[in-house]
Amino acid sequence: MPTHDHPLRYAMVNELHARPFPSLEVPSTAVYVAIKEPEQAQNRDRAKDLAHLLALLDRHGSAHPQPGATHFQGPVGRAELKWESHTEFVTYTAFSPGVSVRPFDSAEAEVLPEDWLAAAPGKRLTSVLIRVEPMPASDDDLLARLDEWFVPESLAVARVVDGAAAVAGDFRIDPAGHMRFAVFVAPGTGPRRVGRIVQRLCEIETYRAMSMLGLMRSRELSARLNALDPKLSALVSSLDDAEPAPEAALHQLLTISAELESLAVQFSFRFGATAAYEAIVNQRIEVLREMRIQGRQTFGEFMMRRYDPAMRTVKSAESRLKAMAERAERAAELLRTRVDVERSAQNQRLLESMDRRADLALRLQHTVEGLSVVAISYYAVSLGGYLLKPAAHALHIGPEALLAGLVPVVVLGVWLMVRRIRNRLH
């Protein structure tokens, strides 16, 4: 029976195996660089990233990746290159056998040439040198090396992965522009486990740097919110005053709300990405399964003291933006309520005025009806007098008596006719 696979089935499975961990012998050196566009990196032209990779491969006559590839691994000279394209950045990692005589010699980074890096379609986000050595005979020897290589007050060091290795770093940038990490491997640790540990260190530094971008943006956001907050507070406080007029207050509130909405659109992606990167950093540290060495601070403790406050600042700025947007929305509701109440009062006054006018019109109508009865009766009596004069003369009735007798009859008849017409109309 023929099967009908989903068109993306194999692509989805292959993605699980697309980025294998490196396999590293001891001793060895890893040079790692992450490159990011300063603005709108998620919408960058990824073809430029691939072209930049090809320029490096062509220098060494290495094979090219497939068109549209998002990852690649292959030799560049005596080093093994690993390239990955991520949502906002690309990474280059070069693994070389052996270590330099002078620890963390900047010459080790020349596997990724400076002139080639300068032509990158983006800026260097982080650059790391990782030195992989055998484990020293004692913890005292290990710590002596670390105190010589790193800044003691910033040093983080721990045994990781059930004692398979010890990792250390001070998260400082050296004069050559690189961050340094050391990995001391215990005897019997396999090359793939060493590669996983080195990969974790690269990921911790990369995602730490990416999440710290949120801190820089949150400071920019806080400055703008500091300018808007007094305006919004003053506007809310004046809602129960006669001034400003509701229309003017509503215009000011709409201006503030529009700016807050614009800020939410500008910063929502960065805040969401920061939260995701922070989670990755914490997860990568957790899987290292750190064990303390002679009371020295671990990576987790370093992050708790230096990194977590920065992430709390980002979350605070995000919460403040959301709270101000909600305040503006509530103020708009209050202002709309005030406008509705004032309009209801205006409508009530208008209805009362219309009632008074209708009452006045009714009185005027009654007056006009009375005058109409008199006027119609006057003409009716005159006509009736002319009509009945011959009969009155034959009956020896004088003109004055005839008119006097006609007046009450005519007036009553006209009044009844007008009343009947009015009742029919109503």
User: pLDDT digits over 244-260, tens only?
Assistant: 677 777 788 888 888 99
Partners of 291 in the β-ladder = 159
Answer whether 168's CB lies under 8 Å from 181's CB: yes
pLDDT value for 372: 73
Predicted model pTM: 0.76
pLDDT value for 317: 93
Q: Strand, helix or coil at 289?
A: coil
Strands ordered across the beta sheet of 89-97: 71-76, 79-85, 89-97, 28-36, 123-134, 179-185, 165-173, 156-160
User: φ and ψ at 230, to 5 degrees?
Assistant: -60, -35
Answer whether 81's CB lies under 8 Å from 73's CB: yes
pLDDT value for 350: 86
pLDDT value for 309: 94
Q: Strand, helix or coil at 356?
A: helix
| pLDDT > 70? residue 69 | yes
| pLDDT > 90? residue 289 | yes
Euclidean distance between CA atoms 343 and 339, whole angstroms: 6
pLDDT value for 388: 73
pLDDT value for 1: 44
| pLDDT > 60? residue 198 | yes
Nearest Cα neighbor of 269 from 88, 35, 47, 91 is 88
In tens, the pLDDT along 78-94 reads 999 999 999 999 999 99
Percentage above 70 pLDDT, the chain:
92
pLDDT value for 284: 94
pLDDT value for 243: 61
Where is pLDDT greater, at 42 or 383?
A: 42
DSSP, res 304: I
Mean pLDDT computed over 37-50: 90
Mean pLDDT computed over 133-156: 94
Q: Strand, helix or coil at 171?
A: strand
| pLDDT > 60? residue 321 | yes
| pLDDT > 70? residue 16 | no
pLDDT grade for 376, boundaries at 50, 70 and 90: confident
pLDDT value for 425: 66
40: left (phi over 0), alpha (psi -120 to 50) or beta: left
